[in-house]
Structure 1
Amino acid sequence: MHFDRSSFNSSGSSAASSASGGENMNAELKPITPQLVKALQETREKQATQDISSLISKPSSYKIDAGDVLSVVVWDHPELSNSATVPVGGYGGQGADASTSAATAPPAGFMVDHDGTIQFPYAGSIKVAGMSQDQASQVLGQKLSKYLRNPKVTLRVQSYRSKRVYVDGEVKTPGLQAINDIPMTLVEAINRAGGVLPTGDQSQVVVNRSGVNYQINLPQLVQRGVNPASIMLKDGDVVRVRSRDESKVFVSGEVVSPRALPMHNGRLTLNEALGESGGVNPLSGDGSQIYVIRRDGGNQVVYQLDGSKAGAIAMAENFELSPKDVVFVAATPLANWHRSISLILPSALSGAVGAVTPATQR
């Protein structure tokens, strides 16, 4: 690879023509200065601040809905308990048929129908959808009071099957998570899925609700004093933890070990990228020509760092990279000249070196 600074005009911009479609792609050269670093940080903070107020709410009691199975106990009246809904001895007789039938049988209890009602002896049809467990207990007790004296009813959700969220991506056990009486926060959902894997990026957590994606940066929320546990999930939400491999930075050119580097929870500075690549090659690298190529919409923006100036290391430490950035270190003029001569006359340099080498050193 070779980076030609002469392609930029005095204003710091250039236009390159695409070989396939003939379209022009504008590129702009900007020197990295303390003022530029500060401006980029302010822009990054504005872009990272997405309105997630619709996701933040206070925990509320669980609301019964269609599909839930309720456990109802009427004190001093065992004939009205859950056992009355299951025939004695199971559903299929004895032996293998009995075990098969028991495995396929619905759970013992009162299932909430699709219209949000249950059928209870003496009380008849009761609409419990949208009620809490205590509210449903009171309604059922009022219905039974016509036939029983001071009925005491204990109603609980035995099987939570009406509300679910889906956790996907870089978690240990992705899949469906049922919403129960424990408030389903974002942290709770991720913990139930086994937590974020080492390959997961905690700064790239996406919550999809009703077709809208909310980008959530967990470390950034903590820094701002926002508790991630205040983000409440609802039925149908999809949580996806993206991989760190989706946010890589590519370091090439005259460095000791060119490589692709994953970002650390959404953050990687230019200084860190150069350090993890072994730094500028001392034999062929030009420290005054360190470039960061970034795609900004339809244009390419090229940032240049002059490492020979005072304060360059501080600027490189504060210059944050973005996913898919390319860090390129140009070669020195002498290295370019040596390579050009080696391509034109492959054996000339080795012959010249051999001619000037003393015989005692051969």
Structure 2
Amino acid sequence: MKLAYSTPVLVLIGVLLSGCTVIPGAHFSDSYGTVVGKHPDRNLDLSKLINIYPISAASLLSQSAPAPVKASTDQALREQIANYDYLVGPGDILSVTVWDHPELTMPAGQYRSSQEVGNWVHTDGTMFYPYIGNLHVAGLKISEIRDLISHRLARYVESPQVDVTIAAFRSKWIYVTGEVKNPGTLSITNIPLTLVDAVSQVGGLTEFADWQAVILNRGEQSLRFSLRDLYKEGDVSQNILLQPNDVININRNDDSKVFVLGEVGKQQTLSMGRNGKTLAEALADAEGMSQITSDATGVFVFRRAPQESGRIADVYQLNAKNAAALVLADSFKLQERDIVFVTAAPVSRWNRVIDQLLPTLGGVYTSASLVE
């Protein structure tokens, strides 16, 4: 009879004593380095696949931060804009004026616009003009077309004074797609069009836009720009002069997220937003660390390691036992797809084991009483 009572109790006591190995709940040790799996040829040592970095004042100061960007005009862009000149193409409509010769100038009239009476550039790149016939104007600047018409007209008009303007720009376009308020096409005109100008002309970005993922497709090239760096940091290198047939796509912010898990008020996925997010902001958005169950010494940030490194992840640990360390958290900038993980305190994990075993203990003691 005594054996029937003692055996289950002893088994449960053994389970309790070994509880640390089966305790459920959020936990991560910075001393990982055990073999986690076997391969036919080798063992995988976690200590070689994960690097752990403490988040401290010294580590933050030692990080190679980029030099602050000066919010000044980019010289290269300024030169491109200064040297910019529109080249006429098929579909454009030109308006030609010859002073003191109204018969060579088509007046718009009260009900006719200059686009309706202008000189159309045909698909073969030519346009017709009285007396001088067809002129090949595609690929020429307005000043070159003016000189060409003046030279041809000089055979019929003495010292012609010619002025040429573009009545309608219809030959060159750029395309804006994705998370903008009014996606569509924008015409290239005689006014230089930059990336910022294009985004502004389509109404700006939507609330779902990823400010760091502006993709410009130009021929076989695919360039990535960050409006966050441009607007927040003043990085003018993120602006560029657009060219005909450029395609601008603003990605959604689906991938621009971080995950907050473990012993926090509310586990959730957080958007990085247009200004990014720090570790302190992520913890605050998740309603902070649990004052009852969390282990303040174990606040971890898991980040996928660079592919060429051969590691699984880089892990950054913040010891927030002293609340002043949260100042460091506000200086630690998160990256897309980071996982913030707050571990459970040892006593919390132990209490969870007890909570799970209490019903079993109650049943054992009841059975033992019946046996006696």
**TM-score tier (shorter):** 0.7 to 0.9
Q: Is the 8 A contact 1:342 1:348 kept in 2?
A: no
Q: Does residue 1:70 correspond to 2:129, yes or no? A: no
* Residues 229 and 238, structure 2, Cα contact 8 Å, conserved in 1: no
Residue 130 of structure 1: how far off its partner (Å): 3.0
Given that 2:230 and 2:238 are in contact with CA atoms closer than 8 Å, whether structure 1 keeps it comes out as no
Note if 1:215 corresponds to 2:224: yes
SS at match of 2:200: helix
Whether the aligned pair in 2 keeps the contact of 1:288 and 1:308 (CA below 8 Å) is yes
Q: Unaligned stretches of 5+ in structure 2?
A: 1-24, 366-372
Number of corresponding residues: 321
Equivalent residues of 2:230, 2:239 under 8 A apart: no
4+ aligned runs moved over 6 Å, structure 1: 52-56
Cα RMSD after superposing both structures: 3.6
Offset of 1:109 from its aligned partner?
Answer: 2.9
Q: Indicate yes or no: 2:129 matched with 1:120.
A: yes
Tell me the equivalent position of 2:354.
Answer: 341
Aligned residue number for residue 174 of structure 1: 183
In 2 relative to 1, CA 318–118 (structure 1 residues): closer, same or farther, beyond 3 Å? same
Distance change in 2, residues 1:318/1:41 (3 Å): farther
- Corresponding position of 2:287: 278
- Deviation per CA, 1:276-313: give whole Å up to 9, x if none: 11110112111111111110134211111111147411
Question: 1:133 maps to what in 2?
Answer: 142
Q: Is the 8 A contact 1:187 1:229 kept in 2?
A: no
> Amino acid of the residue matched to residue 295 of structure 2?
D
Deviates more, 1:27-36 or 1:319-328: 27-36
Segment of structure 1 superposing worse, 266-275 or 54-63: 54-63
Taking only the aligned residue pairs, the percentage that are identical comes to 33
The 8 Å contact of residues 187 and 228 in structure 1, kept in 2 or not, is answered as no
Output the TM-score relative to the length of structure 1: 0.76
TM-score normalised by length of structure 2? 0.74
Q: What is the rounded CA distance, in whole Å, between the counterparts of 1:18 and 1:80 in structure 2?
A: 89
326 and 186 in structure 1: CA distance in 2 versus 1, 3 angstrom threshold:
same
The answer as to whether partners of 2:294 and 2:344 remain within 8 angstroms in 1 is yes
1:328 pairs with 2:330: no
Give the secondary structure class of the aligned counterpart of 1:241. strand
Larger radius of gyration: 2
Question: Aligned residue for 1:297?
Answer: 306
Q: Aligned with 2:185: secondary structure?
A: strand
Check whether the contact 1:185–1:230 (CA below 8 A) recurs between aligned residues: yes
Query: What is the CA–CA distance in structure 1 between the aligned matches of 2:75 and 2:216, rounded to whole Å?
Result: 13
Alignment of 1:188-207 (within 5 A): 188-207=197-216
Map 1:1-362 to 2 at 5 A. Answer: 2-5=26-29, 8-9=32-33, 16-17=36-37, 26-40=49-63, 42=65, 45=66, 57-59=80-82, 60-82=84-106, 108-221=117-230, 226-227=235-236, 231-298=240-307, 299-309=312-322, 311-346=324-359
Contact 2:26/2:263 (8 A) holds in 1: no
Equivalent residue, structure 2, for 1:356: none
Counterpart residue identity of residue 192, structure 1: Q
Structure 1, unpaired ranges of 5+: 91-105, 353-362
3-state SS of paired residue (2:81): coil
Q: 1:53 to 1:151 in 2, by over 3 A?
A: closer
Q: CA deviation at 1:54?
A: 7.6
Distance in 2, matches of 1:213 and 1:229, equals 14
My pick for the range that moved more, 310-319 or 172-181, is: 310-319
The question of whether the paired residues in 2 share the 8 Å contact of 1:74 and 1:154 is answered with yes
Kindly indicate whether structure 1 or structure 2 has the higher relative contact order, using CA contacts under 8 Å at least 6 residues apart.
2
Per mean C-alpha deviation after superposition, the further-off stretch among 168-177 and 196-205 is: 196-205
Residue 289 to residue 267, structure 1, CA distance change in 2 (3 Å): same
> Helix, strand or coil for the counterpart of 1:245?
coil
Distance in 2 between residues matched to 1:346 and 1:166, nearest whole Å: 66
Between 23-32 and 272-281, the greater mean CA deviation after superposition: 23-32
1:249-288: CA deviation from partner (whole Å, max 9, x where unpaired):
1101110011111113252110110011111011211111
Q: Which amino acid aligns with 1:72?
A: V
